[in-house]
Amino acid sequence: MRNKLKKIFTVLLCILTAAVFVAFLFIKEERKNPVDERKNVTTVAEQDAEKDEDTEKDKEQDKTAEKLLETSINYQIVYNMEITSAEMAAAAIREEGQRQRSGYDNPSVKKLELQMEEEFGIFAVNLGEISEETAYAIYEAFRYMYDRYPCLYGSLTNLTLGNMGNRTGGTVALTDRTFFIVNGEYGQYPFVEKYRIVLNARIFLNDEELTKVCASQGKHGYWSQGANVSSVIVHELGHQLQNVIVQKKYGLECPYYITEENGDAFCLYDMDRLKRTDNVTEEIMQKAYRRWQTDYGNQGTYEDFAAGISLYALKDEKESTYSASETFAEALADIYLNGENASDGAKAIEEVIEEYLQ
C-alpha cells in the first residue's frame, strides 16, 4: 500500500516538474517576442508595410527608436483653482504651456512655437522635441487653413505633442475638447476648457515613420492621394473648423471659459459635437450631397459621394462606422492636396461650408 502511494506520488511529481518546465519555456518564448506588443499599436497600413520589410535588424532599430518616442510634455487637469474671468483662464493655459516648454530644449522649434502662438492666437503651442522640418510642415498647414478660414483665429487653445500610449491605437493626431480647470464637481461653473490638436509623439518624433505612415495611407486610398504631414494637420484643423461652425450656430462665445452666462450655449454645442450626433455636420453633408448631384451632375448613392473623397471619408477603419465628421475633415485635406483636381464631393462640401460661415 505504502509502495503504491509512493509510486503515485513520484508520478505526480514528474507531471508537476514537466508542467513547470513547459510553463518556463512559454514565458521565455513570450519575452523573446516583444514585437507583437508593438504591432498592437500600429495601424493597418503600417502593418502592411512591416510585413514586407521586417528583418531582425529593423526590429532592433525599432526597439532603439521606440525608447526615444516619448515627449516630456504631460498635461493634466487642474482641480480647484479659482478663476474669475476669461483673461485668467487664458493666462492659466498660457502658463501651463510655458511650464511644459521648460521641460524640453529645442531652440529653433521654440522660435516657431512662439510665432504660431502669436500668428494664430493659440494660447500654448508645445511641439516639444519635434524636428524642425516636421514643425515647418505643421506650420504650413496652419498658415493655409487660417488664410482660408480666418474664423479659426483664436479658436484653438493648444497645439501639442502628446504621449498617447496604447489606448489610442494607430492614431496619428487628434482634435479634441477637454476639461482643464475643474472646480468642485465636473460641470460646476465656472470651468475652463481646452480645444486642442494633439500629435502622437510615437509617430511625430520619428520622421521616417511619419513619412511612411502618410505615404502608405495615401497609397491605399484610406487618406487622400499624396497625403503628407501638412495634409494630416489640415484634416485636424477641419475638425476645429467644425467646432467653430457649431459654436457659432449656438452663439457660444468664449468657449474656453464656461460660466452661468454661456453654460447653456456650451451644452448645446457639446451635444451637437458628440461623436454619434454631429447634427450640423450631418446637415452640411446632406446639402453637399445634393449639390454633388445637381451642380456637379453626378449620379450615385451617398456612399459614392463620400468614397470619392477618400476611404476614411466613407468609413472609420477602427470603428467600422460612417462619420460625417471624418468626411468633412477629409474633404478639406483633399482640397489642400489636389486643388482644382480635388473630388467633386470635396468641392461641394467646401462650398456648403462657405455658406455656413457667411
Shortest spacing between CB 40 and Zn ion, in angstroms: 21
**Cα 135 versus chain centre, distance:** 16
What's 221's DSSP letter?
Answer: T
Q: Do residues 200 and 213 lie in contact, with contact meaning Cβ atoms separated by under 8 Å?
A: no
Q: How far apart are CA 357 and CA 249, in angstroms?
A: 10
Closer by beta carbon to Zn ion, 278 or else 326: 326
Q: Which residues pair with 177 in a beta bridge?
A: 195
Shortest spacing between CB 321 and Zn ion, in angstroms: 13
Q: Which residues pair with 158 in a beta bridge?
A: 124, 196
**DSSP SS3 for 106:** coil
Number of residues that bind Zn ion (CB under 5 A): 2
Closer by beta carbon to Zn ion, 221 or else 251: 221
Closer by beta carbon to Zn ion, 158 or else 281: 281
Shortest spacing between CB 235 and Zn ion, in angstroms: 6
Stretch that binds Zn ion, among 70-78, 152-160, 268-276, 318-326 (CB under 5 A): 318-326
Shortest spacing between CB 278 and Zn ion, in angstroms: 12
329 binds Zn ion (CB under 5 A): yes
Shortest spacing between CB 61 and Zn ion, in angstroms: 30
Shortest spacing between CB 168 and Zn ion, in angstroms: 12
Residues 6+ apart with CB under 8 A from 128: 71, 72, 73, 100, 104, 106, 109, 160, 161, 201, 205
Shortest spacing between CB 239 and Zn ion, in angstroms: 6
Q: In the complex, which residue's CB is closest to Zn ion?
A: 329
Closer by beta carbon to Zn ion, 191 or else 328: 328
116 binds Zn ion (CB under 5 A): no
Residue 296 corresponds to which cell in the numbers above?
Answer: 456637379
**Cα 316 versus chain centre, distance:** 13
Closer by beta carbon to Zn ion, 222 or else 305: 222
Closer by beta carbon to Zn ion, 78 or else 174: 174
Q: Virtual CA dihedral for 128, 133, 138, 139, nearest 10 degrees?
A: 100
309 binds Zn ion (CB under 5 A): no
Closer by beta carbon to Zn ion, 122 or else 329: 329
Q: Do residues 222 and 45 lie in contact, with contact meaning Cβ atoms separated by under 8 Å?
A: yes
Q: Angle 265-268-271 (CA atoms, 0-180°, nearest 5)?
A: 150
Stretch that binds Zn ion, among 153-161, 296-304, 320-328, 349-357 (CB under 5 A): 320-328
Q: Is the peptide bond before 150 cis (omega within 30 degrees of 0)?
A: no
Q: How far apart are CA 129 and CA 122, in angstroms?
A: 19
Give the footprint of Zn ion on this chain (CB under 5 A): 326, 329
